Amino acid sequence: MNRLSLDELMLRADALIEAMPYISKFRGSRVVIKYGGAAMVDADLKAAVIEDLHLMQTVGILPVVVHGGGKEITQLLQQLGTETTFIDGQRVTNQAALDVAEMVLAGRINGEITAALNTRGARAVGISGKGGALLRARKLASASGGDLGYVGEIAEVRPRVIEVLTEGGFIPVVAPLGLGEDGQSYNINADVAAEAIAVALRADKLIFLSDIPGLMRDPRDPDSVIGTVHRTEVEELIASGVASGGMIPKLRSAAKALDACGKVHILDGRRRHSLLLELFTEKGIGTQIVP
């Protein structure tokens, strides 16, 4: 067994001392984490996220995980020989694609995350948005009027099932599937589901784990990350082109969520322990959107 040097031990002690006030501050806080991208694919990154969530639970934070799975759904559809089409950037979800989405989201991915947390020593329960009628959904109309099939938008969030789980000491792991009034299932964008759940819970923090360092002034320069964005700056950043592509809906979701949430964070899920670095260090990483 390798013994750490005194300098290495002192660095670890300093890290613990730096973390202490934040651990005290966030004890009892509700933190909704949208989990997706590379952090769900790379084995080392997956392990680091599970460790972060376990530590968060251990120190008294109440994490809620909402996961995606779009890449995995596409891969399985391809293996089954089913063509994927898109309208306005949205996947058209027919009944066959919905069956695959439910199998991947509520089955394989949700089960893997839940099992990994419980194996690590955390206490986690996997559910879909249909469980406890958590996510009531209706059919989403595309901007161009095309039929998206069984793609849904959220009509209502009934957060009691999540409250019961967190009060019981469990980490809820939520697959973004919704239930229509007629019993029809709908596939819901995971970012949208995470935002709606965070608002319904009046979460202290909403965190998006993405595949970029944060909002950057220059997309070619990872050191140009903007650390803090005020809600009043969001539309200006979009209009000026600083925010573009997939960052636009994230920022708008963040601005909307701030009606009920304390802060929203966009973190690089490709960086190991990004959750801990953001929560428990003075400088933090990524971009925070604040009221």
Tell me: the pLDDT tens digits for 113-133? 999 999 999 999 999 999 999
Band of pLDDT at residue 39, cut at 50, 70 and 90? confident
User: Does residue 41 fall inside a structural domain?
Assistant: yes
The total number of structural domains that make up the chain: 1
- Looking at per-residue pLDDT, the higher value among 83 and 51 belongs to 51
Confidence at residue 121, expressed as pLDDT on a 0 to 100 scale: 94
Residues pairing with 67 in the sheet:
35
Other Cβ atoms closer than 10 A to 223:
8
User: Does residue 4 fall inside a structural domain?
Assistant: no
User: Does residue 174 fall inside a structural domain?
Assistant: yes
Confidence at residue 2, expressed as pLDDT on a 0 to 100 scale: 63
At residue 87, the 3 state secondary structure works out as strand
Confidence at residue 246, expressed as pLDDT on a 0 to 100 scale: 78
Identify the top-confidence range among 139-143, 280-284, 287-291.
287-291
User: Does residue 210 fall inside a structural domain?
Assistant: yes
What values do phi and psi take at 78, rounded to 5?
A: -65, -40
Other Cβ atoms closer than 10 A to 241:
7
Residues 6+ apart with CB under 8 A from 236: none
What values do phi and psi take at 93, rounded to 5?
A: -115, 95
Confidence at residue 73, expressed as pLDDT on a 0 to 100 scale: 87
Residue-range definition of the domain harbouring residue 221: 27-290
Distances (CA, A) of 259 to 48, 163, 190, 252: 31, 20, 19, 12
User: Does residue 104 fall inside a structural domain?
Assistant: yes
Residues pairing with 186 in the sheet:
178
Confidence at residue 9, expressed as pLDDT on a 0 to 100 scale: 64
- Mean pLDDT taken over the chain: 90
Could you give the angle at the alpha carbon of 86 between the alpha carbons of 82 and 87, nearest 5°? 145
- Looking at per-residue pLDDT, the higher value among 19 and 234 belongs to 234
Residue 1 has pLDDT above 60, yes or no: no
For residues 107 and 122, is the Cβ–Cβ distance under 8 A? Answer: no
Nearest to 159 by CA among 140, 176, 134: 134
Torsion of the alpha carbons at 88, 89, 93 and 98, rounded to the nearest 10: -150
6-20, 182-196, 232-246, 266-280: least confidently modelled range: 6-20
In whole angstroms, what is the distance from residue 71 CA to residue 131 CA?
A: 24
For residues 190 and 66, is the Cβ–Cβ distance under 8 A? Answer: yes
User: Does residue 85 fall inside a structural domain?
Assistant: yes
- The domain that contains 232 carries what CATH number? 3.40.1160.10
Terminal Cα distance for the chain, rounded: 49
What pTM value is reported for the model? 0.91
Task: Write the DSSP string, 166-212.
Answer: HHTT-EEEEE-EEE-TTS-EEE--HHHHHHHHHHHHT-SEEEEEESS
In whole angstroms, what is the distance from residue 194 CA to residue 254 CA?
A: 10
Mean per-residue pLDDT, 253-269: 90
- Counted residue by residue, the chain has a size of 291
Query: Which H/E stretch holds residue 52?
Result: helix 43-58
Q: What is the pLDDT of residues 181-232, one digit of tens each?
A: 989 999 999 999 999 999 999 999 999 998 888 888 887 787 888 999 999 9
User: Does residue 10 fall inside a structural domain?
Assistant: no
User: Does residue 193 fall inside a structural domain?
Assistant: yes
DSSP 150: S
